[in-house]
Structure 1
Amino acid sequence: MKLQRSRIAALFATGAALVGAALLQAPAQALPQAPQAPQAEQAVLATTFEDNFDGPAGQAPDSNKWRYDIGGSGWGNAERQYYTNSTRNSAKDGAGNLVITARKESGGFQCHYGTCEYTSARLLTAQTFSQTYGRFEARIKIPGTQGVWPAFWMMGQGGNWPNNGEIDILENIGREPTTVHGTIHGPGYSGAEGIGAAYQSPNGVPFRNDFHTYRVDWSPNVITWYVDGVQYQRRTPADLGGDQWVFDRPHFMIMNVAVGGYWPGYPDGTTVMPQQMLVDYVRVSTLDSSGGNGQITGLAGKCLDVAGANSADGTTVQLYDCNGTAAQSWSRPGDGTIRALGKCLDVANAGTADGTRVQIATCNGNTAQQWSYANNDIVNRGKCLDVTGNNSANATPTQIWTCGGGANQKWTIT
């Protein structure tokens, strides 16, 4: 399927605050993969976000976890709904579910085309929670009628779409009752070039008939999609045809029900309203991708080392002869961090300039502690972990620097 779709800037209205722009983009180009052997699943380490939507019927979702997009701009896809923060459009049902309801309206809101014909809700965690890597899952009963478009997806923090990435965990359109989609978007593969795949109901029963669990497992350089525990797609940088893999930074979650748009088409005489998406739970966990603690070796075979085995915040991370001590024992728990002595590998003052010092600091979830590892490069926000001056002497400090492929930027994690 090839659709010419545009993405425009939009603002999230989250209470009184405004945050960066993000719009859902359909899997305009689903690239089939050769049959894949299911990959061994990684162990879950810890739950970092969970909402089971317990509470009385009519109660709004937890504002400490979820905020709202509000408006009827069309959201870059000429959608017809006005997103509200009203409990008419998103509320608990008293049975442990959040219900997002798309309704036909006779007035009350203005949309890009005039008086809005529909209302719905779009909830997000941009101001409350984001994470790099891990398991992101939700148990959902989707709606289904012509012109309705339910989704559970993620956007990279910062609002710079598509450069910060988009991971679509679940999308469905009403005219495809037995098909769901998973897709990624980034620079060079956004809009009509999004890379994804479809999953067909194994028994031919429409997905709207029951709850299903939709999930991605996301690790450095690999994203894997599942429905009800069945793996149906796995993407790596090799799938991008040389374009940049941008899935190495925190993403936040979004769930919504759109009405109309270029991809699903528009309601017609067969459309039944209202339509409801029921969400039983949303859960995020860290994954064990480390295989335990080990050394990180670099220039001249020497080890990445915490100076003086000192666990204080701000202690320099340096190059030193490998000695098997705890100061050289590093773990990667699957959340994008690299850890030793109970602290995280950290770029001082969250700097991004060449030559910014690398240290250890209390783990805090910010981007200065998010690292990816590929091709023997350890990378933070596009800069490589670097041995200062290409000097292999003991106690040479490390820094971040523009990646150049030199031996002083090459590391082996064991």
Structure 2
Amino acid sequence: MASPRPPRRLLLSLASILVFASLSTGSALGLSLSAAESSAGAAAPQAAAVTFSEEFDGPAGAAVDGARWQVETGDNVSNHERQYYTAGNRNAALDGQGHLVITARRENPDNYQCWYGRCEYTSARLNTAGRFTTTYGRVEARMKVPRGQGMWPAFWMLGNDIGQVGWPASGEIDVMENVGFEPATVHGTLHGPGYSGSGGIGAGYTLPGGQAFADAFHTFAVDWSPNAITWSVDGTVYQRRTPADLGGRQWVFDKPFFLILNLAVGGYWPGDPDGSTAFPQQLLVDYVRVSTDTTQPGGAGPITGLAGKCVDVAGANTANGTAVQLYDCNGTAAQQWAVGADGTIRALGKCLDVASGGTADGTPVQLWDCNGSAAQQWAVPAARDIVNPQANKCLDATGGSSANGTRLQIWTCTGAAQQKWTVTR
């Protein structure tokens, strides 16, 4: 479901973003330009940047690296947020233990003025506009979110062309948002022309067993490739979006985007803090990393599972409906699988397919002509699950058996060994 909120939070300081976003991304860091930026005639976008790794190492109280991050200032009337974002290290500082701490405080030491009058809260918001952009790749952050009514932490991206085309035509990818009244749930959302604000395309992920995201660090990621974006929490995939999800509206996610981290207070979606909300609250960020690895390699190789055995096309038969099974690895073409940027997993020129597009536990998988259907879409996150997003179920060795000929199926993801696979690239 789309996150139920109005148009995106744009600050009074947005002008500074637009200036930086309009600059060449070939900065002093030596970041490479994307194909879209460097050659108008390029046939297809390429991975846009060298790996970005921000570990937030440094002495306690130090500000973030200004060569990588700019710190925004101002309030935000667009969402009726209550905070004033401050400069420097007042509310965004290293803790000396490898974390960035973004702090929201109930204070106004400098008589800041907000859209509603004298500001009641301060916090911080950082972005990489003009410093770093990426097109495709794995974008992830390990974070511990705050808790309490009115808290709204987020890790997200905006299209680098926002200065030219505006929002939402620029596109927005929300890797993670959490609102305080949903302590166990985070949201991942796409915004673009015709599907922005409360009409964004997305879904939520809820921790099991009554856990709260504020209780521990969690890793939030998107794996982003041409025409596909997959969201995961701690390696568990919970949604995958492609142009087919937009109902004919424009897909604006094949170009450079920059990163944003912030902790908002109040607003239309989370609501304002109340008497139960303790201050200060903190968003702790262990790291932010971007790599050109989308977990979708172009080559073919074996996929191994229980007892080191291989995912195998029975009898090397290319007929539609041929069973896919577990078998001793033998190096044959029946065990060579290519994980494509289009979300398919292919062998012998055909696709790994959920029989009849089923979503029930125990539905077998098979080989079938590639047809672009949801039954042939797979996500391969770092946690080694292979997930069919339509069913939200994992590739599974039936009965937990490692015997030769064990049929593979889809089953509710449990984290069991029979659902763990190693894709050889």
TM-score normalised per structure 2: 0.60
> Residue 94 of structure 2 is aligned with which of 92, 95, 115?
92
Does 1:137 find its partner at 2:140?
A: yes
Please show how residues 289-328 of structure 1 align to structure 2 within 5 Å: 289=296, 291=298
Does 1:48 find its partner at 2:54?
A: no
> Residue 83 of structure 1 is aligned with which of 75, 82, 85?
85
Query: 1:10, CA displacement in angstroms?
Result: 4.4
2:355 aligned partner = none
Aligned to 1:146, the other structure's residue is in SS state coil
Letter in 1 for 2:60: A
Query: 1:121, CA displacement in angstroms?
Result: 0.3
Which protein is richer in helix relative to its size?
2
2:190 aligned partner = 184
2:174 aligned partner = 168
Query: 1:46, CA displacement in angstroms?
Result: 9.3
The 1:56–1:180 alpha-carbon spacing in structure 2 relative to 1, beyond 3 Å, is: same
Letter in 1 for 2:298: G
Aligned to 1:192, the other structure's residue is in SS state helix
Query: 1:6, CA displacement in angstroms?
Result: 3.6
Query: 1:290, CA displacement in angstroms?
Result: 5.6
Work out whether residues 151 and 171 of structure 1, in 8 Å CA contact, stay in contact via their aligned partners in 2.
Answer: yes
Query: 1:113, CA displacement in angstroms?
Result: 1.0
| RMSD across aligned positions (CA) | 2.7
Work out whether residues 3 and 189 of structure 2, in 8 Å CA contact, stay in contact via their aligned partners in 1.
Answer: no
1:216 aligned partner = 222
Aligned to 2:229, the other structure's residue is in SS state strand
CA distance in 1, matches of 2:3, 2:235: 29
Does 1:66 find its partner at 2:73?
A: no
Please show how residues 311-350 of structure 1 align to structure 2 within 5 Å: none
> Residue 111 of structure 1 is aligned with which of 111, 114, 119?
114
Q: Give the unaligned 5+ runs of structure 2.
A: 23-46, 301-339, 342-371, 373-425
The 1:69–1:112 alpha-carbon spacing in structure 2 relative to 1, beyond 3 Å, is: same
TM-score normalised per structure 1: 0.62
Work out whether residues 71 and 88 of structure 2, in 8 Å CA contact, stay in contact via their aligned partners in 1.
Answer: no
Aligned to 2:255, the other structure's residue is in SS state coil
Please show how residues 205-244 of structure 1 align to structure 2 within 5 Å: 205-244=211-250
Query: 1:96, CA displacement in angstroms?
Result: 0.3
CA distance in 2, matches of 1:290, 1:211: 29
1:381 aligned partner = none
Work out whether residues 156 and 250 of structure 1, in 8 Å CA contact, stay in contact via their aligned partners in 2.
Answer: yes
CA distance in 2, matches of 1:224, 1:132: 14
Deviations along 1:202-251, whole A, 9 cap, x unmatched?
A: 23210001000000000000000000000000000111111111110100
Deviations along 1:136-191, whole A, 9 cap, x unmatched?
A: 00000000110010000000012221111100000001110000000000111111
Work out whether residues 94 and 101 of structure 2, in 8 Å CA contact, stay in contact via their aligned partners in 1.
Answer: yes
Work out whether residues 13 and 70 of structure 1, in 8 Å CA contact, stay in contact via their aligned partners in 2.
Answer: no
> Residue 262 of structure 2 is aligned with which of 256, 262, 270?
256
1:411 aligned partner = none
The 1:5–1:205 alpha-carbon spacing in structure 2 relative to 1, beyond 3 Å, is: same
Please show how residues 14-53 of structure 1 align to structure 2 within 5 Å: 18-19=19-20, 48-53=51-56
Q: Give the unaligned 5+ runs of structure 1.
A: 22-43, 294-332, 335-374, 376-414
Aligned to 1:184, the other structure's residue is in SS state strand
The 1:46–1:164 alpha-carbon spacing in structure 2 relative to 1, beyond 3 Å, is: closer
Work out whether residues 154 and 167 of structure 1, in 8 Å CA contact, stay in contact via their aligned partners in 2.
Answer: yes
The 1:241–1:235 alpha-carbon spacing in structure 2 relative to 1, beyond 3 Å, is: same
The 1:62–1:113 alpha-carbon spacing in structure 2 relative to 1, beyond 3 Å, is: same
Letter in 2 for 1:91: A
Q: Structure 1 vs Structure 2: percent identity of aligned residues?
A: 59
Deviations along 1:270-295, whole A, 9 cap, x unmatched?
A: 111100000000000002646159xx
Letter in 2 for 1:154: M
CA distance in 2, matches of 1:69, 1:54: 21
Deviations along 1:102-151, whole A, 9 cap, x unmatched?
A: 00014421111111100000000011000110000000000011001000
2:6 aligned partner = 5
1:150 aligned partner = 153
